[in-house]
Structure 1
Amino acid sequence: MKNLLILLTIIGSLYNVKGQTIISDSIVCVSDSLCLKGTLSYPESGKKLPAVIIISGTGKQDRDGSFAEHKPFFEIAQCLNNAGFAVLRMDDRGVGESEGVYEDATTMDFVSDVKAEIELLKKHPNIDKDKIGLIGHSEGGAVAFILASSNKDVKFMVSLAGLAVDGYTSLILQNRAILENSKYVKPQDVDLYMNLYTCMFKAVKNTPLEKDIEPVLDSVFTIWKTEQSEENLIAMHMNDGRDQGFLYRYKNIAKKAWYRQMIRYNPEEFISNIKIPVLALNGDKDIMVTPEENLNNIERLLKKANNKNFKTVLLPDHNHMFQHCEECSQAEIPNLPEAISGETLDAMSAWLRRNVN
């Protein structure tokens, strides 16, 4: 590993951010026999630097967190490099230059990947191994909570809309918020959909992992449908065979190991054991990780841990991707002008300067 790091430093590129020279190295990290690739960027200071690892949320993402024309993880890295931090950001499994199949991975596989990345940083000649922290977005926040609760090499963390309620409750909150925000669902029909979703989510949560979930969902859906009026089925577009399309799509999601494990995720097991400094940010218009329930739970559980150094911040008019939003729907996200707001970057940078440097 030492020779690998020397080679990577030689092939690293240089660029300037606000007059400061930044080194950008290509990084290879081995996790579960898979080669994961990414970028480690840091200011050319000649000293040991504090470092953060950016952990992506649900869905296949490259090292820059790219969507549409935006690269929010790259912007985070530039901001924090300028603040004196090294930043490691990796392509997810099966994305970009990384090996593996993303769809076969679970949250605990992502935990293993970040563990390997921490070990890599500990051996890097420009990194202070006693100042390594995590920045986790959405599910990546859950990964950060898990590691911060048990890995002594993690010295601080930032949660960007990190998942801090249990997986089942998160699905309920998320789906209700999406339905209420949708132009295509009438307000009086929201409860109809949530009745169905609740039945399906409970079935997945309560079925042992070793048991085939598909026949269970077939049965639950059939019972639910027999209890509905024709009027309700038409309002929900569950008539004329479209119900079978819905069932087929949901079973394909629900049978995956990632989904079945995530619905059982219990943040209390982890957050209530975190003693290190924590910054938790949420947008007040986030419909994917609802801000009130998640920030309140972070505060409650960190107090339970007797954590004396944490801060929660609610950013007004911000969505799940920490952009200023207008409609604040998922569909709007790619069309918004900013990748990540200046307020978000400033909040992270200021907190990290105070608590780490």
Structure 2
Amino acid sequence: MASVNKSMSALATLVFRMQNDPLGPKMIKTLEPIFIKHRRKMSHIDLSYIVKPYANNPWVSDEMKQAIIQSTIELKEKLEPFNIINIFPWVSKFENTQNLFVVFQEKMLSIDWTPKEIAILLSAYSKVNGSTFLWKNMERNILSLKNQLTSYEISDFLFSYTKKKIKTRLFDELRDIVMKIPFKSNDAVYTMHSYIKNEHYDVLIIDKLSREINLNEISLKEVCILYASVLNCLRYFNELPKAAKNTNIEEFTKNISNFTVEIETLIRKNLKIFHIIDLLSILEVVDKYSRPISIKSIAQSISSADQLKGDLSIKGFETVANILAKNNLPIPTPLIDIIFTLI
């Protein structure tokens, strides 16, 4: 019995060390049957070693996923907070994990987490369906720690609550902290997105965050998130009744409009290197808000993208086709050719 346990620990350590090796994923896959057969011989340390490598393995089987989920439940009482932090972000990538998260809910609430750990856990919990009970309790923990929060943690908390569509006091309660501390560019993007998405059209917050964003410091995905956010914001303030507008709002709207033009210049410059998912997002936003970026150019970029065959879904094709038809534009030939491989 002891020798089997030692063998499992040795294999778990091997899997952990091999995960970044070029041949690692295939080797890790070959060990699946051993872990499935002897999973009850694994310790909680062994489990924390193998979760990430298997969660990131493109060939991981459903049986192995279920073995990891079941082992996590069975080892619940032995898992320390640092083990949980090492396991949950990765196991959340599997399907059918709702029961696992429900089982751990009480244990999660009994631990005094740091702000960084809460951010990691909420990011994992945002990927599964479940009760809002944990989210409300975590909200209290976050507010008790609010004077310790960094821009990353604030952006992560607000984005997680936004993603789950959970009503929260965080936007109001963290407002003074958001106004006080400096934000990194990407943190400012996600925080601004969350405020606007939740219809907190706070002029001072949005103005402050927009000034902290250096467009050269954010990813192309973040450019897309930012673009949709500022256009949503512009529409809201442009549609305000004239009586509700004052000099401050007019100046703010002018600044956001100028910022939008800067974003559009960056988008035009990088159309050929955006990912297809991001190009589809840009296409929908440009069409929705009637922006002065060529829809034809975006469609051509989609049709010439390197990853066209792998990443364009039928739904994505329908989106492009409908917007092109609406604007009386032809569908590029490569897109017509690819649709037959999608059906």
User: TM class, shorter-chain normalised?
Assistant: under 0.3
Whose helix fraction is larger, Structure 1's or Structure 2's? Answer: 2
- TM-score normalised by structure 2 residue count: 0.26
Higher relative contact order (CA 8 A, sep 6+): 1
- TM-score normalised by structure 1 residue count: 0.25
